[in-house]
Chains A and B, each alone.
Chain A
Amino acid sequence: MAGSDYLDLRLGEFLDSLSAPAPTPGGGAVAALTVSLAAGLVTMAARRSVDSWSDAPGVAAQARALLARAGPLAQTDADAWHAALAALEEPRGETELEERLAKAAEVPLAIADTAADVAELAALAAEMGEGTYRGDAAAAAVLAEAGARAAAKLVGLNLTVTADDARMVRARGAAEAARAAAARALDSGP
């Protein structure tokens, strides 16, 4: 499903398109939306914690910004995937093919980076936020970790990325940071 923005779809429509045989939306889009959902949970938890946590308004603002950053990456990922696929299937110059494949790797890398930041905020909210909402923040941290790990995997699958590639190192770093943050979130609170 290319050409329409996933953010404009109803949730049921998106789920239908996800289970359809078309190759997109795929793992990258779902990772981006998972990170968006996590960012939304952190925003809510932080907003509910402003009376007891001085950093809560700032954390809410950052989480909202990360939500706005991650959501559009779902469509960007699908568009980049289609562009790379077209370049692979059609006779094009090697340079254009590499450019499109490299672009396709940049999107999951951005998702992984954003996921790591959402996980960090989620951990802060789980540690410092209002007690009732710490569980939501911990859930957000786990979701963000999942998004980071999925995105890192997709970076590694790109044909232009080698094991010691700087992009792969960065993606693994993001996934590891998200994992550590999620562990903090799960260990925090009552």
Chain B
Amino acid sequence: MSADVSDAQLVHRCRTGEAAAWRELVDRYSRYVYAITTQGFRLREHDAEDVFQEVFTRVYDRLDSLRDDSAVRPWIAQLTRRLCLDRIAAERREQPADELVSPEAEAVLADLDESFAVHEALSRLPAQCREVLDRFFTRDESYRTIGDALHLPPGTIASRISRCLAKLRSELDGRSVAV
């Protein structure tokens, strides 16, 4: 199963009991959930693992309650966030859970959400776009290096990257918004 399968399609297949779809759902969101627990809420490793297990157990048990199949990402994010707060509140019983999220943590969570959205949008781009964007923005390769690797004139790389960024923008604009 590839990234071409939308979230809504994936959720639908999970509901029919397709084991491969469930594995894909966990695979697609595992890093996201783990990042929220460790980077957003800075849970200790064993707490993060507990929350991770609990999140996907609840997703499995409650998938039928999801009203909009395309909104699975914000649903999982909200579920993870709540379980993280419960975990922290259990350790600091005197503090209301809502006060446990610092502005810094909120900023990290917003960044994670944006990063995941970009990652998702990237996965829907043509392979040649993914490669050229990865080489330039992630690996910091020069136009000449990229051109040599892809057998393209270096002078065409910048325009190619611009076109791929425009496609990425379109994918991001078309994404489902949080519920």
Residues of A within 8 A of B (CB): 54-55, 57-59, 61-62, 65, 69, 113-114, 116-117, 120-121, 124, 170, 173-174, 177
Q: Shortest Cβ distance from B137 into chain A, in angstroms?
A: 6
Q: Is B162 a contact partner of A113 (Cβ separation < 8 A)?
A: no
The residues of B that contact A57 with a CB separation of less than 8 Å are 162, 165-166, 169
User: Is B65 among interface residues, defined by CB-CB distance under 8 A?
Assistant: no
Write out the residue numbers on chain A whose beta carbons fall within 8 Å of the beta carbon of B161.
Answer: 58, 62
Query: CB within 8 A of A117: which of B137, B142, B166?
Result: B142
Contacts of B143 in A (CB 8 A): 116-117, 120
Expressed in whole angstroms, the minimum distance between the Cβ of A19 and any Cβ of chain B is: 32
Q: Mark B residues whose CB is within 8 Å of A.
A: 136-137, 140, 142-145, 154-155, 158-159, 161-166, 169
Majority-rule SS of A interface residues: helix
Bound-state Cα–Cα, A65 to B129, Å: 17
Measured between beta carbons, the chain B residues less than 8 angstroms from A54 are 166
Does more than half of chain B's interface fall in helix, strand or loop, or is it mixed?
Answer: helix
The distance in angstroms between the C-alpha atoms of A138 and B53, with both chains bound, is 56
Q: Which residues of B contact A174 (CB under 8 A)?
A: 142, 144
With contacts A65-B137, A116-B143, A116-B144 taken as known, whether A58 is within 8 angstroms of B155 at the C-beta atoms is: no
Decide if B144 touches A58 in the complex (CB within 8 Å). no
CB pair B154–A55 under 8 Å, yes or no, is no
Let me know if A59 and B158 touch, CB within 8 A.
yes
Q: Of B140, B159, B169, which contacts A124 at CB under 8 A? A: B159
Contact of A59 among B144, B145, B162, B169 (CB under 8 A): B162
- List, in ascending order, chain A residues with CB within 8 A of B169's CB: 57
A109: min CB distance to chain B, Å: 10
A-B contact pairs, 12 of them (CB 8 A): A55-B162, A55-B163, A58-B161, A59-B162, A62-B136, A62-B162, A69-B140, A113-B142, A114-B142, A124-B158, A170-B144, A177-B144
